[in-house]
Structure 1
Amino acid sequence: MPSFCAAYGCSNTRCLETRTRGITFHQFPKTGERRRMWEVALRRDRFAASDRTTLCSEHFRSEDFDRTGQTVRLKDGVVPTIFNFPAHLHRSVATRTTTTSRRADDNLPMDLMPDVGATGERRLECKRQATDHLYALPASPKAIKAKLEEASARVRKLQREKTNAFRRENRAKNNMQALLEKLKEKNLYI
């Protein structure tokens, strides 16, 4: 029985094509509160998820996934945030009204801008980066944590690559040593 994505306007189904595109499907949580949060995030009138209702991976951010094993899993406590809602379902985004708070937003670098709204959309307008006070921490702890997690993941990946490179080098040395030993045995070594 094929699985369909329950998100508004999403036509992804669990099939070979979506699998080759890297799209995975995830069932709604079994617990009541998390399940309710997912249902609310979908913004569908009178929607109640069943035990077989699924959402595709296109409705989650890349950092929401645990890809350490063979199976792609969602991290604990994750709620879907990326949707393509029609205009009547968009929620208004509260904007800052004071001059000081607007100036603080203008000084944030683009990669540290907080997410806007429940849709996970990022601000698209370019923000001017302040040239003074670049040593100061960004206003959002979530942005700091995201940068730290991204850097830590990159370090772990580079450490794995380094270890694999050392292992390949040792195998090549051992193979060369074994070939030289065979040549010596056959008196072909000069």
Structure 2
Amino acid sequence: MVKCCSAIGCASRCLPNSKLKGLTFHVFPTDENIKRKWVLAMKRLDVNTAGIWEPKKGDVLCSRHFKKTDFDRSTPNTKLKPGAIPSVFESPCHLQEKREKLHCRKNFILKTLPVSNRGHQLVGASCIAEFQPQLIFEHSYSVMDSPKKLKHKLDLVIIELENTKESLQNVLDREKHFQKSLRKTIRELKDESLISQETASRLDAFCWECCQESTA
């Protein structure tokens, strides 16, 4: 499974040629204090719990979110210096809008903060007031509904589409019938000399134009 950077808006993926491009990926620290600082620096919320996002085993951040001075390049394998904290994050326009909407929601309440594997909260209560206005409300890319529910929704959409097609065809059939009736009436009026040939031709042409527009 290809690992992806956990930072909001970052599309970096750990591929075989990543290192050749100077891109490295780093797991979250095991030290709870350092891990907390990483999480706060990311300003990411979990959309499912409305709490601060907590990294899972295997989650990584790419080197784009660290300064050059954060790395130890004295060894063949590029490593982060002890205590290095990510600090390079960009906020795309659409994420900025989501953050502003979140900040304006009067009824939004930050739920109980996630607990780490060691039983300690990643973020203390004193940090909430400081960082809550800056947190980015993450878009969830996971499918929340079960396959059965999704299939049911798809079936409803298909049924609605078929009904729409049927309604449209009925409208076209009625219009076609109306066009035939109108042309028949024009011919009858011309045959009874109630309208001139010129008028009949213009009315017939008008019917033809309307018919073409409706089927275009």
TM range (shorter): 0.3 to 0.5
Larger radius of gyration: 2
Specify which structure has the bigger relative contact order, considering alpha-carbon pairs within 8 angstroms and separated by 6 or more residues: 2
TM-score by length of 1: 0.45
TM-score by length of 2: 0.40
